Structures are given as C-alpha cells and as structure tokens.
C-alpha cells in the first residue's frame, strides 16, 4: 500500500515512480498495489493506521516531502511524522516504511527524487518487500504466498537447499 502526500506532489510522484520500479523488480503485481493520497505529511500516520487495520496489505509505504521553511513547522511535522509512522508499524505489526524526504532545500529534494540513480523511492520499495516477507516469516498468515518466503534471510539459515530458493532481496 502506498500512501502519498499532495504537498510537493511533483517530487512525490517521482518518488512513487521509484517505489513502483522496485516493486515491479520484486515481481509485485500492479493489481496488488493499493495507492491513495492525503493532504500532507502530518496526515500520513493516521492514514497508515487505517490501512494497516484494514488488513488488506502486507506493507505500507508512507511517502512525502517536507521542505524546511521560515518557521518551526518543518521540525514539528518531521518529528511527529517519523515517530507516528514508527508507532503505527509497532502497534499494528504491519511494516510501515518511512518514505518521507526531510530536506533543507528543494535542490536536496530533486537530488533524491529525480527518476534514475539516487531516487530514494526505489530503496523504499525494496525495503517494503523485504519487511513484508520478514513479517510473513515471523508471524505467518499474511497475503504473501508461502513460496515467496524462501527469499528471506531467515529461511536461508534453516534450510540451505537451492541457491535460487534462498536468494535474498537486497538494494
């Protein structure tokens, strides 16, 4: 599940593209990607909570862009959002990825969100898949198919059978 902000939407859309490239490389089917938007980064944690509690997704990527302005909003929002996202993951047992750029300038955002190398969305997509598989292996009973679990590091330790079966997902 991807939850994106409408603040700084131009940059956020580039991050979402990076996320989708990574998901596609991990063979996540497009039909299995749920995408929605919220006004700004401050709204990401509660939206993630609603989505996690729906039980319909294996992992959630909260994505947005915070850019420092002249007031203290940046500090308050960054702090609340990072802690909020961590709490939703821990409380709902659904991996929630912190896909929020917290930048001092727009140039810093561009360097981290432009399509191609350096797009942080790509890393977040891979992280979401790895964490979804970790949850499935640790807790079982998610929407991830059991055969995919062989891709996790834990499985590697237990039953080293076929190299192909135990290939880990890295970025």
Active site members: 73
Report the SS3 class of residue 3. strand
Q: Is 39 in the site for ligand RBF (CB under 6 A)?
A: yes
Q: Is 5 in the site for ligand RBF (CB under 6 A)?
A: yes
CA distance 161 to 74: 50
The correct pick among 1, 2, 43, 150 for binding ligand RBF (CB under 6 A) is 43
Q: Write the CB contacts of 128 (distance below 8 Å, at least 6 apart in sequence).
A: 19, 23, 59, 60, 61, 95, 97
- Closer residue to ligand RBF, CB minimum distance, 54 or 105: 105
Q: Is 134 in the site for ligand RBF (CB under 6 A)?
A: no
CA 110 to chain centre: 19
Convert residues 58-87 into a mask of x (bound to ligand RBF by CB under 6 A) and - (unbound).
------xxxx-x-x-x---x----------
Please, what is the minimum distance in Å from the beta carbon of residue 67 to ligand RBF? 5
Alpha-helix residue ranges (DSSP H) falling in 40-119 = 44-54, 73-92, 106-113
**Contact positions toward ligand RBF, by CB under 6 A?**
5, 7-8, 39-43, 64-67, 69, 71, 73, 77
């Amino acid at each position: 599940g991807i939850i994106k902000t409408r603040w700084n939407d131009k940059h956020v859309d580039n991050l979402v593209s990076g996320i989708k490239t990574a998901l596609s490389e991990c063979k996540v089917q497009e039909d299995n990607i749920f995408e929605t938007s919220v006004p700004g980064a401050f709204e990401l944690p509660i939206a993630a909570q609603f989505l996690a509690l729906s039980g319909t997704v294996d992992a959630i990527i909260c994505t947005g862009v915070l850019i420092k302005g002249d007031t203290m909003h940046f500090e308050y929002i960054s702090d609340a959002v990072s802690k909020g996202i961590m709490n939703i993951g821990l409380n709902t047992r659904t991996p929630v990825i912190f896909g929020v750029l917290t930048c001092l300038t727009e140039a810093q955002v561009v360097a981290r969100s432009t399509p191609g190398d350096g797009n942080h969305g790509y890393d977040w997509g891979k992280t979401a898949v790895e964490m979804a598989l970790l949850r499935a292996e640790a807790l079982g009973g998610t929407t991830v198919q059991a055969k995919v679990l062989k891709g996790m590091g834990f499985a590697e330790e237990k039953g080293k059978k076929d190299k192909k079966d135990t290939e880990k997902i890295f970025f």
